[in-house]
Amino acid sequence: MAEKLVNENIIEQLKNGIAQFELVASPVPPILTSKFYKCPPATLLADDGHRFFARIGQSLGRGSPAMKKVEQYSVQKVTGDGRCLFRALVKGMAFNKGISLKPQEERNDADDLRMAVKEVICDSSKERRQYEEALVAITVDEPLKRYCQRIVRPDFWGGESELLVLSKLCGQPIIVYIPEHEHTRGGWGSGFIPIAEYGTEFRKGSKNGKPRKVVRLLYSGKNHYDLLV
């Protein structure tokens, strides 16, 4: 019975597009119960002696996202011009500082974030080594060279790889949510469910920096991000 419930949960995650995967080398070791399996260094991706597989990883926190307490926020719409992830992030960071960005400022700052990712991932091998998790996520889908050609385009969609870089680069905790109604079978619910978190270490602050307010992003529809406040 328990195995059936687990299988149903996995199918539901795949159906709703919120399943998280982790990369493992062959042979596949047992799935860890406490946290994600750490992927091997990116240099192994070029080693023909290693085969890599994806498998379902654990959801954010304990249990399925559907079992989490639904949270309530207001949605601030973000322009869907290919910059939506970057726009939502700069809009959220500005909001946390009590700043309201003009449309052109938002667009310029969004493009600056895009180029910042490009600089650390594509222009500096030294910097790149500090973002191995993002590098693995990128090279699973395409060669790094191809990625570096595409990211400079203004219509390039950002996603998890860019969030992994920017959360660390900006020292910014980020939580991504989905609409409650997209997860429930009946299509009801007006709240939001957290599905991924980045930069958690910056929530507590450090000796050299103050705790940072979380930026909450809403992922919905066809690869679109809005801001939750």
Q: Distance between CA atoms of 148 and 103, rounded to whole angstroms?
A: 27
Residue pair 199/171 in contact by the 8 Å Cβ criterion: yes
pTM over 0.85: no
C-alpha 92/C-alpha 37 separation (Å) is 30
Identify the burial level of 166 via C-beta atoms within 10 angstroms of its C-beta, where 0-12 means exposed, 13-18 middle and 19 or more buried. Answer: buried
Identify the residue with better confidence: 154 or 148.
148
Task: State the catalytic residue, choosing from 47, 50, 81, 112.
Answer: 81
Given the DSSP bridges, would you call strands 192-198 and 21-25 parallel, antiparallel or unpaired? unpaired
How does pLDDT run across 12-39, given as a tens digit for each residue? 555 555 555 544 443 333 323 323 222 2
- pLDDT classification of 204: cutoffs 50, 70, 90: confident
Question: Of 39, 84, 122, 170, which one is the catalytic site residue?
Answer: 84
Whether residue 50 lies in the annotated active site = no
Question: How buried is residue 47: exposed, middle or buried, by Cβ count under 10 Å (0-12/13-18/19+)?
Answer: exposed
Domain ranges of the chain: 65-228
Gap between the Cα atoms of 16 and 171, Å rounded: 30
* Arch. (CATH architecture) of 65-228: Alpha-Beta Complex (3.90)
Give the model's pLDDT for residue 182: 79
| Cα-based angle 39, 156, 174 (whole degrees, multiple of 5) | 55
CA pair distance 178, 195, nearest whole angstrom: 7
Q: Among this protein's residues, is 181 annotated catalytic?
A: no
**CA of 62: how far to CAs of 15, 44, 65, in Å?**
20, 30, 8
Residue 84: active-site member: yes
- The active-site residue, picked from 111, 148, 181, 224, is 224
